[in-house]
Structure 1
């Protein structure tokens, strides 16, 4: 918060402030956008409860095709920015990681 506030002092201070604090101008720009959207509150870190279930890869090796209720199993994730993501329980980790990254930046 302090760095973002400092970047708004004076004329064209963003690059100078980023350099002074050893961060990229692009990162400062992301922080400034988040600040404008009200996503930077300067508060304490927020932790989200997570439940870890059995490794789905083990289950897929045992039964290649999910059947019954498992065929429609879904995972719902609430991101820090408030967006919610619901995906099939058999989504690949790489694809899920990409989705989360895109939604966090949006």
Structure 2
């Protein structure tokens, strides 16, 4: 944390030692270099919430793992993408009918 500005470091001071991950600190450092101390302080708020609420951290990790597992090799114009979108729209319309919502 010695490389971060005093403004950002002060936001993190109340956290127990070791509660922030190395990747979180690296991200704060990059954010501060690009967006300045205010941008990094805003991002620090997220990391403080994750560090102090284990359930949020677990959810965040689960989402990160799911994002990493996504298949980026499928192009946006792949026919499978269009089929998936159509199927999702049909499911949404069907769910709306069951709730008495009329499609627009």
Which one has a larger percent helix, Structure 1 or Structure 2?
2
TM surpasses 0.5? no
Task: State TM-score, norm by structure 2.
Answer: 0.26
Which one has a larger percent strand, Structure 1 or Structure 2?
1
Task: State TM-score, norm by structure 1.
Answer: 0.25
